[in-house]
Amino acid sequence: MLAECCHLTVVISSITKTVEIENGRNVELIDVNDNAPEFQQANYSASVSEVAGINSTVIKVEAEDKDFSPEFSILTYSLWGPNSDYFSIREGDGNIMVKKPLDYNEVNFFNLTVQAKEKFGNQSATASLIINVEDYDTLNPYFSQSVYHGNISENQRHNQVGPLAVLPEVLAQDGDKGINEKIIYSIKLVNPPAYNNSFSINDAGVLEVKTSIDREICPNLVVGIQVEIVFVF
């Protein structure tokens, strides 16, 4: 505490009477660093979009030191933990901000520790901080490979229509793994075009032959498949 002037009253008592003597004195009360910093809560958590801009504020952590004098009550903040370099903490006020671009597919969970320390003293406190990165629709869906090969059996020529044997099976997935989106398959083209109506594809990516195809007339076909994603609420 700072030096203060106190007015003292000295009371002298005896069996017969009481005498009060007023005697003003300046008394200096010296603050002792007997309080450590304390965070407002032991555990903090926050979420941030992977497209949040550099220097965007994610969360603010706060601590307090109950010592009166500034040399013991002014605090500085620091941050550490695995991949903590994605974030920075403002030393003077505990604001935690994005330091470098986030990518949900690279790191989407941070388990960090924040510290509040007396700027001119040695006492400190820590709290845990969990940051979850939210996925954003930044990536297109993609196929497991660019070209698939299928065979139509001789039996299928004789009106035996049905699923086409494709190995490996046609498979696409969304590059954004943290978003609940459905992949929709469709046929974009068939070459020769005369067979446009001879094929269909379902939601699982299974290609089917709908009409018979004569090998002698058409020994090879090209079917172009397209995928798009639809957000599922």
pLDDT tens for residues 73-89? 789 999 999 999 999 99
Alpha carbon distance 174, 168 (integer Å): 18
Nearest alpha-carbon partner for 58 in 37, 44, 76: 44
Please tell me the predicted confidence (pLDDT) of residue 30: 62
How far is residue 83 CA from its own chain's centroid?
A: 12
Please tell me the predicted confidence (pLDDT) of residue 180: 65
In this predicted structure, the answer to whether residue 166 has a pLDDT above a threshold of 90 is no
pLDDT tens for residues 4-35? 444 445 555 555 555 555 656 666 666 566 77
Bridge partners (DSSP) listed for residue 166: 150
Cis upstream peptide for 141 (omega within 30°): no
The arithmetic mean of pLDDT across residues 214-225, rounded, is: 88
- 113, amino acid identity: T
Please tell me the predicted confidence (pLDDT) of residue 87: 98
The arithmetic mean of pLDDT across residues 36-62, rounded, is: 95
Cα–Cα distances in angstroms (integers) from residue 221 to residues 44, 149, 198, 202, in the given order: 59, 10, 11, 19
In this predicted structure, the answer to whether residue 1 has a pLDDT above a threshold of 60 is no
Alpha carbon distance 85, 107 (integer Å): 12
Please tell me the predicted confidence (pLDDT) of residue 24: 60
Average pLDDT, the chain: 83
Q: Give the least confident one: 51-60, 120-129, 173-182, 187-196.
A: 173-182
- Name 158's Cβ contacts closer than 8 Å, sequence gap at least 6: 212
Dihedral over alpha carbons 103, 104, 108, 113 (to 10 degrees)? 30
